[in-house]
A and B are shown apart, each in its own frame.
Chain A
Amino acid sequence: MEHTSSEITFHHHTDDETFKKKVKKTTILLSIITIIELLIGLVIYNIHKGENPSAYLVLAFKGMVCILTIAKAYYIVAVFMHLGDEIRNFIMTIVVPLMLFIWFIAAFLIDGNSYKNLRNDYDKHFKETTSPRPHHGHEAPAKPEAPKPEPGKQ
């Protein structure tokens, strides 16, 4: 296929066979990853339903889903969007700005978490009305009272 501009000499030189193979492989890969994600989702659901849901186990499974999602995103961008076939400099102009997300996600999740901790410390009503209660009507063990904030110290 000829481009209109003579300045552009780059073509995706993939013949029909290898291309079809690549697309097929990627489709199967994406489907398998999605199915694994759904299975993990059901595992999390069953952990939640169980007697003593382990917060760390749930967190570990959620982390696994996040990693699988990033793998999926990589395949969509690299193969379906052909970014992997472009010149390295061009790839970098897209990928490097996206690095900002590392700070973006970390900073704002930590911020939300800190706000929750502050509210739990200083707003007892919030803590009592919103804290998750254990299933099956068991009473939560009485927690030691948080140290009272010193007046005038903020």
Chain B
Amino acid sequence: MATTVSTHQTKWWSGGKSPFNVEYGKVMMWYFLMSDAFTFGAFLISYGTIRFSQNFWPDPNVVFNAFPGAGHANLPLAFVSVMTFILIISSVTMVLAVHAGHKGDKASVAKWLAWTIVGGIAFLGCQAWEWHHLITGEHATLIDGQIQMVGQTTTINPWGQLVAAGPELTAALNNSDQHVLASLVHEHHASQLGHAELMKLPKQDLVNMLSNAELHIREKGPVAFGGYFYGITGFHGFHVFSGVIINIVMLIMTQKNVFERRGHYLMIEKAGLYWHFVDLVWVFVFLCFYLI
């Protein structure tokens, strides 16, 4: 780097200069991001504390195995890797926007900012789909001696331990609603009949059909799982959302020649720092919730 030599010779603290050689707003953006890192860190660490205080914790590969349009196919990690790559690519387009700003190239700034916005919106769309899928999902769960179909919310977690076949499970099947049994038969392909026809059969027939199928019925899991998942990914999603808004504002300002008149595109750099931070946080959210 050409400036390294002069850096050593300059007396940064003798006055008359900016000792960090960084513009004020950029310094403050860095310090804000540092404090935000502690906020996210505290959330993730408290998740870790609760997780370490439990004997059993759901396996992320069991929880996050769905893909839009793939039905019941078991595809662990597939969708979240799409989300991760969207965010990495949008980070790259932001780097290119900042670089175009260095050169004062207005058209390129606008182009790369627009792509970054598209990436951000795509990520938010993925997250909306994932949340919707988890909340409205129907997972056979053993609750109070009967099988219920529940989704993952902040008050219930259907990802507990697998219930082994045995008298307890048979009793629970006998206790369950007709509707639940019909759904289970349908899901496990234990019969050719449709849901409506299954609803008309006697309950005992449905239980008998199920006794041959390998059921993956789970107990309730640790309830903190949902709260932490929605809390932390929601907080991150909120950061992505505000990042998209900031980038849209930057795009409008670029198009209105605000930076052209100012003579520099420093604002784009600051928005860029924020956007990269959002990507950075996702790297850790991805690690804590999906990988380990």
Contact = CB atoms under 8 A, between A and B. Distances in A.
Interface of A: 1-5, 7-13, 16, 19, 23, 27, 30-31, 34, 37-38, 40-42, 44-45, 48, 62, 65-66, 69, 72-73, 76-77, 80-81, 83, 85-87, 89-90, 93-94, 97-98, 100-101, 104-105, 108-109, 111-113, 115-116, 119-120, 126-127, 130-133, 135, 137
Contacts, number: 180
Nearest to B10: A9
Contact of B88 (A30, A77, A109): A30
Interface residues on B, range: 35 or more
B121 interface: no
Which of B52, B85, B284 has the most CB atoms of chain A within a 10 A radius of its CB? B52
B14 interface: no
A27 B92 contact: yes
Contacts of A120: 55
A48 B61 contact: yes
A19 B54 CA distance: 48
A3 B56 contact: no
Given A66-B287, A98-B37, A1 B27 contact: no
A13 B102 contact: no
A76 B91 contact: yes
A41 B289 CA distance: 11
B69 to A, nearest CB: 20
B56 to A, nearest CB: 5
A8 to B, nearest CB: 5
A108 B291 contact: no
B290 interface: yes
Interface in B192-214: none
B96 A1 contact: no
A109 B41 contact: no
Contact of A132 (B31, B46, B55, B286): B55
Nearest to A130: B55
3 closest residue pairs by CB, A with B? A112-B52, A112-B49, A10-B21
A7 B17 contact: yes
Which of A10, A42, A89, A137 has the most CB atoms of chain B within a 10 A radius of its CB? A10
B164 interface: yes
A116 B52 contact: yes
Which of B42, B53, B101 has the most CB atoms of chain A within a 10 A radius of its CB? B53
